């Protein structure tokens, strides 16, 4: 059987070899072989092996079909500093897997121009760090900033999503964005006010620890993967596309 390589981005970082196809792999990782746990999983399929940091020989030794004919579900090659060693050219489709094991495939597209002089953005960083950041920077600018080694706080590569902004004048009108801001709406407004008042401040940390409140309902334009030189964009499906083509996934993700 063919060996697939998957970059796990959320909830943990890792490089995993598997004989499972992406949808089967997502189901296995989210639900488990004994259906004993449930969690959302974000992962990217790699397009192949490459020179450098990982032991591909070990993968070929361990990721083999079982004597009873069952495929090997997972072989971990690394769980630390994985993303930074993977060439962006080798990133294939990204998958959003729900806690009951349904996967939505997202493919790469050109990043959208989101610039608005009065706009404020909220970013959920997913890998390798996971704070929620409010920012005046649009996604490409934010990616350049967070991967710039001249800054005191930086990472070599980053996976993040822009999340939907709440309507402070009428939160009910914000639509289905999950519960990501339910308990901290006033703190969020304070963070945005800081950006308005301090013109030289580009980013403000909104939350450092409650990443488990992130849901697929909150995703705005899509998922971004970047280093200092390049930004890869995986656009989120529209609500119409989800209703027409991915209804059961969207229902599982509580989007519809």
pLDDT digits (tens, 9 = 90+) for 103-151: 999 999 987 665 555 588 999 999 999 999 999 999 999 999 999 999 9
Rg of the chain taking only CA atoms, in angstroms: 19
CB half-sphere exposure, 170, CA atoms < 13 A: 3
Q: What's the rounded Cα separation, in Å, for the pair 91 and 86? A: 8
**Confidence category of residue 182, pLDDT binned at 50, 70, 90:** low
Geometric angle at alpha carbon 162, from 48 and 168, rounded to 5°: 165
Q: Is the pLDDT of residue 256 over 60?
A: yes
Please tell me the pTM assigned to this model: 0.93
Q: Is the pLDDT of residue 220 over 90?
A: yes
Contact between 147 and 156 under an 8 Å Cβ cutoff? The reply is yes
In a 10 Å sphere around its CB, with 0-12 CB exposed, 13-18 middle and 19+ buried, how is residue 226 labelled?
Answer: buried
Left (φ > 0), alpha (ψ -120 to 50) or beta: where does 52 sit? left
Residues 154-163 have a mean pLDDT of 96
Helix-then-strand count for the chain, H and E: 6, 12
**Confidence category of residue 38, pLDDT binned at 50, 70, 90:** confident
Q: Is the pLDDT of residue 99 over 60?
A: yes
Q: What's the mean pLDDT when you consider all of the chain?
A: 90
Residues 18-23 have a mean pLDDT of 98
Contact between 88 and 230 under an 8 Å Cβ cutoff? The reply is yes
Q: Is the pLDDT of residue 173 over 60?
A: no
Residues 46-62 have a mean pLDDT of 96
Domain locations along the chain: 4-106, 121-236
Which one-letter DSSP state was computed for residue 249? Answer: H
**Tokens 């334009």 label which residue?**
221
Cβ contacts of 223 within 8 Å, gap of 6 or more: 42, 94, 106, 126, 159, 160, 161, 233, 234, 236
Count of Cβ atoms closer than 10 Å to residue 172 Cβ: 6
């Amino acid at each position: 059987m063919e060996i697939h390589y998957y970059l796990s981005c959320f909830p943990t970082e890792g490089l995993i070899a598997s004989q499972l196809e992406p949808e089967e792999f997502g189901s296995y990782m989210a639900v488990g072989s004994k259906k004993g746990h449930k969690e959302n999983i974000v992962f990217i399929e790699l397009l192949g092996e490459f020179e450098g940091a990982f032991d591909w020989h070990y993968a070929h030794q361990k990721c083999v079909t079982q004597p009873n004919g069952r495929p090997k579900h997972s072989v971990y090659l690394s769980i630390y500093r994985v993303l930074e060693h993977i060439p962006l050219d080798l990133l294939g489709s990204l998958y959003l897997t729900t806690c009951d094991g349904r996967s939505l495939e997202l493919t790469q597209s050109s990043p959208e121009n989101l610039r608005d002089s009065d706009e404020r953005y909220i970013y959920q960083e997913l890998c390798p760090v996971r704070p929620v950041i409010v920012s005046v920077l649009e996604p490409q600018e934010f990616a350049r900033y967070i991967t710039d080694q001249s800054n005191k706080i930086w990472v070599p590569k980053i996976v993040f999503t822009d999340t939907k902004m709440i309507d402070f004048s009428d939160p009910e009108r914000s639509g289905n964005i999950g519960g990501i801001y339910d308990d901290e709406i006033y703190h969020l407004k304070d963070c945005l006010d800081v950006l308005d008042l301090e013109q030289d401040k580009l980013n403000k940390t909104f939350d450092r620890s409650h990443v488990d409140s992130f849901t697929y309902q909150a995703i705005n334009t899509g998922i971004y993967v970047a280093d200092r030189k390049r930004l890869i964009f995986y656009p989120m499906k529209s609500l119409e596309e989800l209703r027409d083509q991915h209804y059961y996934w969207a229902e599982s993700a509580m989007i519809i």
